[in-house]
Amino acid sequence: MADVPSDAPEHCPGTQSESAGKVSACQGCPNQSICSSGAARGPDPGIELVRKRLESVKHKILVLSGKGGVGKSTFTSLLARGLAAADSDRNVAILDIDICGPSIPRVMGVLGEQVHQSGSGWSPVYVEDNLSVMSIGFLLSSPDDAIIWRGPKKNGMIRQFLSEVDWGALDYLVIDTPPGTSDEHLSAAQYLLNAGLTGAVILTTPHEVALLDVRKEIDFCRKVSIPVLGVVENMAAFVCPKCKTETAIFPANTGGGSKMAMELGVPFLGSLPLDPRLARSCDEGTNFLTDVQDSPTTVAFNKLLKDVVEACEESRSS
């Protein structure tokens, strides 16, 4: 049973069970009175806290992918930077819930920053006046530190991130996730669906190995009823800087992201070509959109950005 605490007495019926606090195994358990009063059976109090905290956030976008290394963090950073640059009155924030492999601090160029506590919660790290970032990377003392946690601890951390960060009034909160369909995703979905989640952008690369996992992620979104804003295909074609020949590094043998989106009945937002300068700019934490304006990736992204904003507005009004 999932709701049996790890330090519970033997034969604990589980905190959510009808007989919690009432069976013989509960005798002598320090939490017996709480269990028998029924308080533990109520909904997670965190859900209400998250809802309250995120009330002042207009759009909450999840960036998901079943596959790792397809560019979730890169896309998250581009999206946030793009949204923030388009309108200086727009407040944008990134929340990185990849607990085991946080990449956002590096990609946003705020590696080694610290978060501070105040009366109203944790203050995020500001990259621009209207762009703030929160990640577990800021809480680690050394880049070598590994977070070796099982699910429940990760969930606790995510709940804290969602309910205790002092974002202020936000127009967009972009949430970067780890690959998979497990603890982090379930927790994020559970808390955010009650707080008015706008939807999810699904990232993929064109080859079948990635699409396999991404189909599972779309199935996950259906199962937990997260609205899908659309699919973005990253690392599509590579243009040789010398001879300008286009090569598909991750060949789309099965039709790529657009065909998958069509088959599964979700919108396809567009393709981003592979530009080595983008990888470098992520490593250095610089703003790719302003630094390399002539890149085909920048051009494709700016077009895509409009579609994402439109999809968000639509999702909100419907």
Partner 1 sequence: MLSGVKHIVLVLSGKGGVGKSTVSTQLAVTFKDCGYKVGLLDVDLCGPSIPYLLNLEDKDVHQCPQGWVPVYADKEQNLAVMSIGFLLKNKNDAVVWRGPKKHAMIKQFLTDVYWQDIDYLIIDTPPGTSDEHITVMENLKTLNCDGAILVTTPQAVAIEDVRKELTFCRKTGIPVLGVIENMSGFVCPTCSECTNIFSSGGGQSLANIAGVPFLGCVPIDPRVALSTEKGQNCVATIPDSPISAVFQDIVKSLTKPRVGADDTSS
Near partner 1 by CB under 8 A: residue from 245, 265, 294, 317: 245
3 state SS of 234: coil
- Tell me if 71 sits within 8 A of 197, measured CB to CB: no
Residue 66, annotated as binding a ligand: yes
Residue 240, annotated as binding a ligand: yes
Question: Which string of x and - marks every residue 93-132 that binds partner 1 (by CB under 8 A)?
Answer: ------xxx-x--xx-------------------------
69: contact with partner 1 by CB under 8 A: yes
Whole-angstrom Cα distance, residue 205 to residue 224? 24
- Tell me if 276 sits within 8 A of 242, measured CB to CB: no
* Count of residues of this chain found to bind partner 1 when the rule CB under 8 A is applied: 66
| Nearest one of 199, 189, 201, 198 to 159, comparing CA atoms | 189
| Nearest one of 228, 188, 191 to 315, comparing CA atoms | 228
Whole-angstrom Cα distance, residue 84 to residue 263? 33
The CB-side HSE value for 135 (13 A sphere, CA atoms) comes to 33
Near partner 1 by CB under 8 A: residue from 30, 114, 242, 317: 242
Near partner 1 by CB under 8 A: residue from 119, 150, 225, 265: 150
Whole-angstrom Cα distance, residue 95 to residue 159? 12
Toward partner 1, which CB reaches closer, 169 or 240?
Answer: 240
60: contact with partner 1 by CB under 8 A: no
Toward partner 1, which CB reaches closer, 37 or 253?
Answer: 253
Near partner 1 by CB under 8 A: residue from 55, 87, 219, 314: 219
Near partner 1 by CB under 8 A: residue from 126, 276, 299, 306: 276
Cβ burial 28-49 (10 Å sphere, 16+ → b, else e): ebebbeebeeeebeeeeebbeb
265: contact with partner 1 by CB under 8 A: no
Residues that bind partner 1 (CB under 8 A): 2, 66-70, 73, 99-101, 103, 106-107, 143-152, 154, 178-183, 185-186, 205, 207-210, 212-213, 215-220, 223-224, 238, 240-243, 245, 247-251, 253, 264, 274, 276, 279-280, 282-283
